[in-house]
Structure 1
Amino acid sequence: MGEQTQVQAKPETQTPPQSQLQPRSPPNSDSTLVSNSPVDLPPNPSNPSKIPIRPQKIRKLSCTPSSKTPQTTASSATPASTKSRRKSAPKSSSSRGLPQIIKPLSANGEIDNALLHLRSADPLLGSLIDTLPVPQFESHHSPFLALSKSILYQQLAYKAGTSIYTRFVSLCGGEDAVCPDVVLSLSAQQLKQIGVSGRKASYLYDLANKYKNGILCDDALVKMDDKSLFTMLSMVKGIGSWSVHMFMIFSLHRPDVLPVSDLGVRKGVQLLYGLEELPRPSQMEQLCEKWRPYRSAGAWYMWRFVEWKGTPTTAAAAIDAGNVQPLQQIQTGQETQQHQLQLLEPINGIGNLGYLTIFRLKACIWSQ
């Protein structure tokens, strides 16, 4: 028992130097390293020991605080980012809402939605909506047939265009038989015999070839967005911006199409807002911006408004001594030859038909 107490007392006497060594351990460790190593070795181990330790500490410091800081910055930035996202949410929602906008005006309830929006967005147009009848968008033609029909009616009076179109349909074997293969099977001489010019025949062939090669098809045109549709159809010979806009409104019933180069729509905007001069196509976008996303219905009311006012739409503005000239060409002189040709389509029809308005001409060509 006495030996055990002595053994216990001995470690008690040894404990104080351990407590003394703890605070002095860093300097003693360094001194031991220097003392135990030769002259050349202390700098080498000390330097590498310091070099890896410091970057490790730096890395740890840079990682841990950076990991914390991005968390804090992320946490602190999240409200701002969420706010910005919330602010940008309407834009994303509008872009995500495109499928609803692409819903045709002929769908159930879309006309009511369009009129409700136009009444609240534009009081002047709202009073016009209450006066004029409700728009009607009906078409029983396939996209290929509608585009072929628009080519045949170019630069012709309605009666002459209807006569040629009727013979064309009969030559193909009926409206249901009008397809790319049938059109390509017709010779230029056959088309010439029914009154189709060589230029229009080349337009029909180009349209049919793009269908046959898979560049265009009816299903793709129906599902295509407005911008892509405009780009693809503009590649077809004889189809310009005006024809594409009319096709989108009266055949596909797209709700947000504004034919800025159409003189009837521009005349209606001038009458609606009491403008001294006919608005330029570049001004139409700004004037009709409030109509989005139902600018097609707004354009429809502009045609009807001009007709209701008894104004000869584009006849008085574009016909001079029997010579038909596109007003946009007179004002800007910058349209391409193909687009100038398309601007001649409605004007020529109206010039030969007297006071028949653009609206009636469009309704007859595209809706029947």
Structure 2
Amino acid sequence: MDGSIIAVKPPYSFERLLKRLETHPDPQMQVEAEARMIRRVFRVGQRPVVAALHFTGDVEQPAITWRTDAALTASEKMALEATIRHMFSVDVDLEPLYRHMRQDDVLRPLTERFRGLRFLLDADLFQSMVRTIIGQQVNLPFAAALTRRLLELAGEKLQDDQGRTYFAFPTAEAVARLEPAELRPLQFSQRKAEYIIDFARAVVDGRVDLDSLWRMEDEEIFAYLTPLRGIGRWTVECLMMFGMGRPDLLPAADIGLRNGIQLVYSLPGKPDEQEIRRIGESWAPWRSYVSLYVWEAVGAVKRKEDQNA
């Protein structure tokens, strides 16, 4: 067994994370809410391992204790911990964001209602892009169902010592070996199946170097990825937000963001992209995070949360 305790920069709300997972399900996670625990498969190099994450403390004194039954080398332990820190955004300082949002009378209530909410990021950029393509023009539950079917088709199956079954997200090599006809019975559209497999093959044959994205500015990433089939501006924005954790993206074409801005700003109708960009200018340099809090306002309505929850 291996593991350690990760100090989290406060505030951090595990309860708000759980609420968000209700409307944004992640088929890779097994959640034990009462135990404040999440179990998941993580890749350490190319090796999948099951780890349990226990969220301790409270919003103002949070920590994450992780454990795995896998025998890890020192470098593997460091890599796994780095992935956990990235995924759960543990080093993000929310106070500058809250100071910024409190200057706006409309946004100020969100800083208290959703205090401690952070991005739950994807574990790696290949997974993030595939999940984003899957999510194009479909609702969240159906996107989660498609993701699970891909995991079961091409991912590795693991069991822990309690007999619980987990699926590792498939590697680029595993997806590249698929044909669209194998995804069609799983309710993938022809184009969505082609886009996912094309992207995987581009990664495998070196036409796309995902590691290089970390060294690029936002506009360079757009220029690098949008020539690929099925990858437009919204898709790249989501990759940078949910895969890379970049703080200042505004996915103005997102229907959920349109709904959220209409709700939060009490607009008579849904704003168009131009109006969203106008409103979002005042959110910089935290447009990704303000978008997250606006999305969460919509999620809270869907979950029928009490306004004071």
1:302 equivalent to 2:298? Answer: no
For normalisation by structure 2, the TM-score amounts to: 0.58
Partner of 1:127: 109
Partner of 1:117: 100
Counterpart for residue 245 of structure 1: 237
Report the Cα distance in structure 1 between the residues aligned to 2:201 and 2:286, rounded to whole angstroms: 33
2:146 partner SS: helix
Give, in whole Å, the separation in 2 of the partners of 1:138 and 1:108.
12
Q: What amino acid maps onto 1:232 in structure 2?
A: Y
Q: Which runs of 5+ in 2 are unaligned?
A: 1-85, 157-166, 305-309
Which residue, out of 143, 147, 150, partners 1:168?
Answer: 150
Change (3 A) 1:159 1:233: same
Cα deviations by residue, 1:167-219 (Å, 9 ceiling, x for unpaired): 32233232656233222222333333444333222112321232134332231
Letter in 2 for 1:150: T
Check 1:136–1:187 CA distance in 2 against 1; reply closer, same or farther (3 A cut): same
- Quickly say closer, same or farther: Cα 1:189–1:105, change in 2 above 3 A: closer
1:285 to 1:169, Cα distance in 2 relative to 1, 3 A = same
More strand by share: 2
Q: Which has more helix, going by share of residues?
A: 1
2:95 alignment partner AA: D
- Is the Cα contact below 8 Å between 1:105 and 1:254 reproduced in 2? no
Q: Are the equivalent residues in 2 in contact too, given 1:104–1:255 (CA < 8 A)?
A: no
CA distance, structure 2, for counterparts of residue 256 and residue 160 of structure 1: 28
Secondary structure, counterpart of 2:118 in structure 1: coil
Q: Does 1:204 pair with 2:196?
A: yes
CA–CA distance in 2 between the matches of 1:285 and 1:153? 22
Q: Which runs of 5+ in 1 are unaligned?
A: 1-102, 311-354, 358-368
- Equivalent residues in 2 for 1:24-173, closer than 5 Å: 106=89, 108-120=91-103, 122-173=104-155
Compared CA separation, residues 252 and 176, structure 1 to 2 (3 A): same
CA contact (8 A) 2:131 2:147 kept: yes
Residue 144 of structure 1: CA displacement? 0.8
Q: Is the 8 A contact 2:176 2:198 kept in 1?
A: no
Q: CA deviation at 1:107?
A: 5.1
Paired letter, 1:285: R
Letter paired with 2:119: F
Distance 2:115 2:175 in 1: 39
Tell me how far 1:125 sits from its aligned partner.
1.2
Q: CA deviation at 1:154?
A: 3.7
Contact preservation (8 Å) 2:106, 2:264: yes
Q: Are the structure 2 counterparts of residues 266 and 187 from structure 1 closer, same or farther at C-alpha, using a change threshold of 3 Å?
A: closer
Question: Displacement of 1:110 after TM fit?
Answer: 2.5
Query: Residue 347 of structure 1 corresponds to which residue in structure 2?
Result: none
SS across alignment from 1:244: helix
Q: Which residue identity lines up with residue 150 of structure 2 in the other structure?
A: F
Structure 2 equivalent of residue 350 of structure 1: none
Q: Matched residues in 2 for 1:293 and 1:274: separation?
A: 23
Taking the aligned partners of 2:272 and 2:133, their CA distance within structure 1 comes to 26
Shift of 1:297: 1.2
8 Å Cα contact 2:133-2:230 kept in structure 1: yes
Distance 1:167 1:303, change over 3 A: closer
Using the alignment, how far apart are the partners of 1:248 and 1:126 within structure 2? 25
1:266 aligned partner? 258
CA apart distance, 1:255: 0.4
The Cα RMSD (Å) is 3.0
Matched, 1:219 2:211: yes
| Count of matched residue pairs | 209
SS of 1:139's equivalent in the other structure is: coil
Q: Aligned match of 2:282 in 287, 290, 293?
A: 290
State how far apart, in whole Å, the 2-side matches of 1:144 and 1:153 are. Answer: 14
Residue by residue over 1:50-96, the C-alpha shift from the partner in whole angstroms, topping out at 9 and shown as x without a partner, is xxxxxxxxxxxxxxxxxxxxxxxxxxxxxxxxxxxxxxxxxxxxxxx
TM-score in terms of structure 1 length = 0.50
